[in-house]
Structure 1
Amino acid sequence: MNDRLHSVLAQRGVSPDILADVCAVDPKTVSRWLGGRVPHARHRFAVARHLRVEETFLWPAPARRSVRTADGSGGELLGTYPNRASVPRDIWLTLLSEAKREISVLVFSGTFFAQSNPHVAKMLAARASEGVRVRLCFGDPAGRAVATRGREEGIGDTLAAKIRASLTYYRPLLGDIGCSIRLHDATLYASMFRYDDDLLVNPHVWGQPASANPLFHLRRADDAGWFATYAESFEAVWADARPWTPEQ
């Protein structure tokens, strides 16, 4: 079954019959796509364009462990976006709801993560209850790194205030088994959002908010590619971060 195609159709309110009309195919063909068959290239493009989602999100390419590209990415780069807001909301929701092993987030404030999905805390708690390890790492509002970043963006203490506001969304997770929240004081060169073997990386450009910076979607192909490099970076920051205790 193509669960992602099922999910996006439901979220968009598009029936299989409508999709069949859009692609000029028989409804039985769409049923076969929903059942797991991969469409021809022209139909994949038409479906992705109509549903406003990445083609590679609906039909991920199989990981090729023995092939290395000239840039060393190993075929891990699934898609790029000019800024974070360009990522369809359905991708964020589907990746979160489909995670089976791990959800790891590294940000300064991550305000959009909760504001774009008011049920994010409940969704994270639900994933944790099913055995998913949830780790959220925010900037320390009282740390030097946050103060520096605030000055660089020209917003001063506003970044620290945004972090404190963002943390309030996640207070209900503090007592949940499988959920951990920490504060870091690291120079953050990229925000990261990991869902099992999918990783959304939002590089930081000096003087600009993360929301205005590009984002690229990686999928793990082996243990020596871009994914592994960023995953190791997350682990290093996480190891030095301190648990969040609201009372402090």
Structure 2
Amino acid sequence: MPNERLRDAILRNGLTPVVVAERVGVDAKTVERWITQDRTPYPRHRHAIAAMVREDVPYLWPDAVTPEKASQIGQSEMVQLYSRRSSVPYDLWRRLIERAMERIDVLAYAGLFLLEQDPRLIDVLRQKGIDGVEVNILLGDPTSDAIQRRSVEEGAPGVMAAKIRQVQQYYKRLDGAPGVKVLYHDTTLYNSIYRFDDEMLVNMHVLGFPAPHAPVMHLRKLNGGDLFRTYSDSFDRVLGASKSRPGDEVAA
């Protein structure tokens, strides 16, 4: 069976088997066999091709990386573990936002601290969208049961919904901005996820503790790893279930 994923990735990037062969240092017929006969390249060639076509190794060759190997690679994806979000340096947040070239994803209930850290954030996000960066801001639906429950669990009933409504006033300035979406979700939030291209900050939530006092993982994506991908998949699921306005039903 042909490897259609590999074929599509090569063509989508304006490449040919001959060009791929030249770049990785193999015969063009070898690349043809990788495509038409679904042969699996050596690891060094897999990683070179994946980087060339900007895809993950597991996507191009699903059977090439065992779960055990993916778990080992995943351990190396953790750059730093912070005991609490308030310990994450502001310069790190700024660097990740400013250097993002493809996507900025925010999944939180309110995420008010981002705006408090940098009052220019809205203008930065608008410019990022203009420059072609895909920006997705997913906020909690202040009318949802999940928000009410989180406020009660943190010992401050009604506070979370109030924070979200405060944040809404800022993000309204992004209405109509190209490449920027501000959506609402009603999920039980186990983690807040902040993704900037191939780096991510994951704020883990702990029952009874406000988010600033909960741990944060700084992750950097590695080809074949499964940790970064786990949280990316989680973000995508919430994105698919989010809505344009609080209280709206998700379209079937």
Q: TM-score, normalised by structure 2?
A: 0.69
Larger Rg: 2
Q: What is aligned with 1:168?
A: 169
Give ranges in structure 2 of 5+ residues lacking alignment. 1-50, 52-56, 58-64, 248-252
Equivalent-residue separation in structure 2 for 1:209 and 1:89 (angstroms): 19
- Is 1:240–2:206 an aligned residue pair? no
How far is the alpha carbon of 1:93 from its aligned partner? 0.6
Residues 118 and 147 of structure 1: is their aligned pair in 2 closer, same or farther, counting only changes over 3 Å? same
Equivalent-residue separation in structure 2 for 1:121 and 1:167 (angstroms): 11
Q: What is aligned with 2:149?
A: 148
How far is the alpha carbon of 1:82 from its aligned partner? 1.2
> SS at the partner of 1:229?
helix
How far is the alpha carbon of 1:222 from its aligned partner? 2.5
Give ranges in structure 1 of 5+ residues lacking alignment. 1-62
Equivalent-residue separation in structure 2 for 1:85 and 1:141 (angstroms): 24
Q: What is aligned with 2:196?
A: 195
How far is the alpha carbon of 1:100 from its aligned partner? 0.4
Equivalent-residue separation in structure 1 for 2:142 and 2:224 (angstroms): 34
Q: Is 2:70–2:225's contact at 8 Å kept on the other side of the alignment?
A: no
Q: What is aligned with 1:93?
A: 94
Q: TM-score, normalised by structure 1?
A: 0.70
Equivalent-residue separation in structure 2 for 1:213 and 1:133 (angstroms): 28
Q: What is aligned with 1:230?
A: 231
Equivalent-residue separation in structure 2 for 1:76 and 1:222 (angstroms): 10
Offset from partner CA, 1:133-163 (integer Å, 9 cap, x none): 0000000000011011111111111110011
Residues 70 and 130 of structure 1: is their aligned pair in 2 closer, same or farther, counting only changes over 3 Å? closer
Equivalent-residue separation in structure 1 for 2:238 and 2:195 (angstroms): 14
Q: Alignment identity in percent?
A: 36
Residues 70 and 192 of structure 1: is their aligned pair in 2 closer, same or farther, counting only changes over 3 Å? closer
Alignment of 1:62-77 (within 5 A): 68=69, 73-77=74-78
Equivalent-residue separation in structure 2 for 1:136 and 1:86 (angstroms): 23
Matched positions, count: 184
